[in-house]
Amino acid sequence: MKLKTTIKNLAILVVMIMSSNAFAQDGFQGQAIYMSKTTVDMDSFGGREMSPERKKSIMERMKSMLEKTFILDFNKTESMYKEDEALEAPSGGRGGFNMGGMSAGTVYKNVKDNQLLQDQEFFGKQFLIKDSLVKLDWKMTGESKQIGKYTCFKATATKKVDAADWTNMRRRGGDRGKKEADKKETAEVKSDSTKADVPKDPFEDIEIPKEVEVVAWYTMDIPVSAGPGEYWGLPGLILEVNSGRTTILCTKIVMNPSDKNEIKKPTKGKEVTMEAYQDIVKKKMEEMREMFRSRGGRGGGRRN
Query: Is the CA virtual torsion 259, 265, 268, 272 positive or negative?
Result: positive
More confident residue, 147 or 187: 147
Confidence at residue 4, expressed as pLDDT on a 0 to 100 scale? 54
In three state form, how does the secondary structure of the chain look? CHHHHHHHHHHHHHHHHHHHHHCCCCCCCEEEEEEEEECCCHHHHCHHHCCHHHHHHHHHHHHHHHEEEEEEEECCCEEEEEECHHHCCCCCCCCCCCHHHEEEEEEEEECCCCEEEEEEEECCEEEEEEEECCCCCCEEEEEEEEECCEEEEEEEEEEECCCCCHHHCEECCHHHHHHHHHHHHHHHHHHCHHHHHCCCCCCCCEECCCEEEEEEEEECCCCCCCCCCCCCCCCCEEEEEEECCEEEEEEEEEECCCCCCCCCCCCCCEEECHHHHHHHHHHHHHHHHHHHHHCCCCCCCCCC
Share of the chain above pLDDT 70, in %: 60
Give the model's confidence band at 189: pLDDT under 50 very low, under 70 low, under 90 confident, else very high: very low
Residue 282: predicted pLDDT: 86
Give the whole-angstrom CA distance, residue 110 versus residue 75: 10
Entry pTM: 0.74
d(CA 258, CA 116) in angstroms, rounded, equals 27
Q: Strand 150-160 to strand 78-83: parallel, antiparallel, or no bridges (unpaired)?
A: unpaired
Give residue 211's pLDDT: 87
CA dihedral 5, 8, 10, 11 (to 10 degrees): 180
> pLDDT tens digit string along 134-177?
999 999 999 999 999 999 999 999 998 876 666 666 666 655 54
Per-residue model confidence (pLDDT) at position 101: 52
pLDDT of 242-298, one tens digit each? Answer: 998 899 999 999 999 888 889 999 999 999 999 999 899 888 888 887 887 777 655
Q: What is the pLDDT of residue 300?
A: 45
Q: Where are the alpha helices (DSSP H) in 23-171?
A: 52-66
- 24 vs 61: CA distance, rounded Å: 46
Residue 31 pLDDT level (bands cut at 50, 70, 90): very high
Q: Which of 126, 132, 128 minimizes the C-alpha distance to 109?
A: 132
Residue-level pLDDT at 117: 97
pLDDT value for 183: 53
**4-23 residue pLDDT tens:** 555 555 555 555 555 444 45
Q: Which pLDDT score, from 0 to 100, does residue 166 have? A: 64
Mean pLDDT score of the chain: 77
Q: Mean pLDDT throughout 88-114?
A: 66
Tell me what pLDDT residue 19 has.
Answer: 47
Average pLDDT of 203-230? 88
